[in-house]
Amino acid sequence: MIEFVFWFALGLLAYTYAGYPLCVAVWARLRPDPVRRGAFEPPVAIIVVAHNEGARIERKIATCLAQDYPADRLRIVVASDGSTDDTCARIVALGHANVTVLPFSTRRGKAACLNDAVASCTEEVVVLTDARQMLNPEAVRCLLENLADARVGAVSGELMLVRDDMTPFGEGVDAYWRYEKFIRQREGLVHSAPGVTGALYALRRACFQPISERTILDDVAIPMQAVRAGFRAVFDGRAHAYDQASKSPAQEQMRKVRTLAGNYQLMAMMPWLLVPWRNPIFVQFMSHKVLRLIAPFAMLALLLANLALVGRSAGYGVFLLVQVAGYGLPLAGRFWPAVGAWRVTKLASAFVLLNAYAVLGLRQFLSQRDGHLWQSHPANGADRSKGQP
Give per-residue pLDDT as tens, 50-73: 999 999 999 999 999 999 999 999
Per-residue pLDDT, 187: 96
Which residue in 222, 198, 68 sits closest to 132, CA to CA?
198
3 assigned to some structural domain: no
203 assigned to some structural domain: yes
96 assigned to some structural domain: yes
* 3-class SS of residue 146: helix
Indicate which CATH number applies to the domain containing 112. Answer: 3.90.550.10
336 assigned to some structural domain: no
For the ranges 64-68, 108-112, 249-253, 358-362, the lowest mean pLDDT is seen at: 249-253
Residue 217 predicted with pLDDT over 90: yes
364 assigned to some structural domain: no
Given pLDDT bands bounded at 50, 70 and 90, which one contains residue 336?
confident
Most confident segment among 169-178, 221-230, 364-373 = 221-230
End-to-end CA distance of the chain: 48
Residue 163 predicted with pLDDT over 80: no
Per-residue pLDDT, 379: 47
Rounded alpha-carbon distances, angstroms, from residue 201 to 140, 156, 159, 210, 278 = 9, 4, 10, 17, 24
Per-residue pLDDT, 375: 52
Q: Specify burial of residue 262 (Cβ count, 10 A radius: 0-12, 13-18, 19+).
A: buried
Per-residue pLDDT, 389: 35
The angle at the Cα of 312, spanning 306 to 314, to the nearest 5 degrees, equals: 85
pTM for this model (two decimals): 0.87
Residue 204 belongs to domain spanning: 44-246
The angle at the Cα of 257, spanning 252 to 357, to the nearest 5 degrees, equals: 80
60 assigned to some structural domain: yes
For the ranges 68-72, 242-246, 311-315, 379-383, the lowest mean pLDDT is seen at: 379-383
Which residue in 386, 368, 366 sits closest to 377, CA to CA?
386
Average pLDDT over residues 12-35: 96
Percent pLDDT > 90 in the chain is: 72
Phi/psi of residue 43, each to 5°?
A: -60, 135
Per-residue pLDDT, 30: 95
Say which amino acid occupies 243.
D
CB of 178 within 8 A of CB of 159? no
365 assigned to some structural domain: no
27 assigned to some structural domain: no
- The number of distinct structural domains making up the chain is 1
For the ranges 69-78, 298-307, 355-364, the lowest mean pLDDT is seen at: 355-364
Average pLDDT over residues 151-156: 97
